[in-house]
Amino acid sequence: MDTKLDMRRETAVIVLLISAVLVPMWFVALASGGHAGGEEIALQPAPNSSLNPTGYFIDAPTEINVNVAGVVTWLGLFGLFGVLFASIRFAHRVGRSGEPIEPTDGTDLDLPDYLESEYRSVVAYWPAKANLTGVWLVGGFTFATVVFAALFAGEVFGAARHQFLGFYGALLCVSLAETVLLYYTYFIPSIDVAEERDH
């Protein structure tokens, strides 16, 4: 328990140090960014055309300078890293809940032969949950993946609104990733393998 507490404390210190360096840099970048110049050209679609590239449902700036784009990119990368970290923690917390089965007890786990050898052995085994919660979650995100794929395809072959394309594409990727994560968490066993090394 003390080791986990120390690791969390060290992680918090590292995050604070990185924030102390990046936040002032981002503030200076945002404050020093000026107008990029240029002239806005209005689009004039044909009367019978369904193309509407400027269609949107969220107000967004029509122009963004390089400094703001850099800050937004960094924030997006940190956000993706945070989501990845939370997903891994969720998979370990749910997939490895409860006491593991130790093969030393003589229990036959019916594992593939390549997992065990003269220098490698399985030391802990968590069976797959395969419960109704996992079925509902995987089924729900699978349905969401199909829906967002259909909406994305409809935008590509239809009105082609840029903001809608990005929104549906992002939700399609997220729902597909969550489907794989939930299937891995609830329907695939988790194991710990120990291997003897020369060094």
The sign of the torsion formed by the CA atoms of 178, 184, 190, 194 equals negative
User: Do 148 and 131 share a structural domain?
Assistant: yes
The rounded distance, in Å, linking the Cα atoms of 78 and 26 is: 14
User: Do 174 and 90 share a structural domain?
Assistant: no
Domain residues for the domain of 124 are 101-199
User: Do 30 and 114 share a structural domain?
Assistant: no
Query: Between 71 and 141, whose confidence is greater?
Result: 141
Task: Please answer whether residues 162 and 170 qualify as being in contact, where contact means their C-beta atoms are separated by less than 8 angstroms.
Answer: no
Summarize pLDDT for 26-85 with one digit per residue, the tens: 777 767 655 555 555 555 555 665 555 566 666 666 566 777 777 888 888 888 888 888
57 belongs to a structural domain = no
Query: Between 146 and 95, whose confidence is greater?
Result: 146
In this structure, the chain runs to a length of 199
Summarize pLDDT for 152-185 with one digit per residue, the tens: 998 888 766 777 888 889 999 999 999 999 999 9
40 belongs to a structural domain = no
The tally of domains found in the chain comes to 2
Q: Is the pTM value of this prediction over 0.85?
A: no
155 belongs to a structural domain = yes
